[in-house]
Homo-oligomer: A and B are copies of this chain.
Amino acid sequence: MTYTFKIEHTRIPKQKPATDQLGFGKIFTDHMFILDYTEGQGWHDGRIVPYQPILLDPSAMVFHYGQTVFEGMKAYITVNGEVSLFRPERNFARLNASNARLCIPTIDEELALEALKQLVKLDRDWIPTAENTSLYIRPFIIATEPYLGVSPSKKYQFIIIMSPVGSYYAEGINPVKILVEKQYVRAVAGGTGEAKTGGNYASSLKAQEVAAKEGYAQTLWLDGRENEYVEEVGSMNIFFKINGTVVTPALNGSILPGITRDSMLQVLRKHNIPVQERRISITEIIEAHKQGTLEESFGTGTAAVISPIGQLKFEGTEYVINNGEIGEVAQLLYDTLTGIQYGKLEDVYSWTVIVK
Task: Point out residues on A near B: beta carbons under 8 Å.
Answer: 24-26, 28, 32, 51-59, 62-68, 70, 101-103, 136, 138, 140, 142, 146-152, 159, 161, 163, 183-192, 197-206, 208-209, 212, 224-227, 234-235
The 10 closest A-B pairs by CB, nearest first: A199-B199, A66-B198, A25-B148, A185-B190, A66-B202, A65-B201, A188-B188, A188-B224, A103-B205, A66-B66
Do residues B183 and A66 form an inter-chain contact, with CB atoms below 8 A? no
Residue of B192, B204, B206 touching A150 (CB-CB under 8 A): B204
Q: Tell me, in angstroms, the Cα distance from A59 to B159 when the chains sit together.
A: 10
Residue of B53, B188, B192 touching A55 (CB-CB under 8 A): B53
Residue of B57, B148, B186 touching A53 (CB-CB under 8 A): B57
Number of copies: 2
CB-CB under 8 A from A63, the residues of chain B are 62, 68, 140, 142, 198
Do residues A58 and B161 form an inter-chain contact, with CB atoms below 8 A? yes
Q: Tell me, in angstroms, the Cα distance from A186 to B203 when the chains sit together.
A: 13
Q: Tell me, in angstroms, the Cα distance from A202 to B187 when the chains sit together.
A: 13
Q: A53-B55, A65-B198, A185-B191 are in contact. List 13 more A-B contacts (CB 8 A).
A: A24-B148, A53-B57, A54-B57, A55-B55, A58-B159, A59-B138, A63-B140, A65-B202, A66-B199, A68-B202, A151-B212, A184-B191, A188-B224
CB-CB under 8 A from A148, the residues of chain B are 24-26, 136, 138, 163
CB-CB under 8 A from A147, the residues of chain B are 25-26
CB-CB under 8 A from A138, the residues of chain B are 59, 64, 148
* Residue in B closest to A200 when the chains form the complex, CB atoms: B199
CB-CB under 8 A from A192, the residues of chain B are 199, 202-203
Q: Tell me, in angstroms, the Cα distance from A161 to B65 when the chains sit together.
A: 15
* Residue in B closest to A63 when the chains form the complex, CB atoms: B142
CB-CB under 8 A from A159, the residues of chain B are 58
Cβ contacts A to B, 21 pairs, < 8 Å = A25-B147, A58-B159, A63-B142, A64-B68, A64-B70, A64-B138, A65-B198, A65-B202, A66-B197, A66-B199, A66-B201, A136-B148, A150-B201, A150-B204, A150-B205, A151-B208, A152-B205, A152-B209, A184-B191, A188-B188, A197-B199
CB-CB under 8 A from A208, the residues of chain B are 150-151
* Residue in B closest to A221 when the chains form the complex, CB atoms: B190
* Residue in B closest to A25 when the chains form the complex, CB atoms: B148
Q: Tell me, in angstroms, the Cα distance from A29 to B144 when the chains sit together.
A: 19
* Residue in B closest to A199 when the chains form the complex, CB atoms: B199
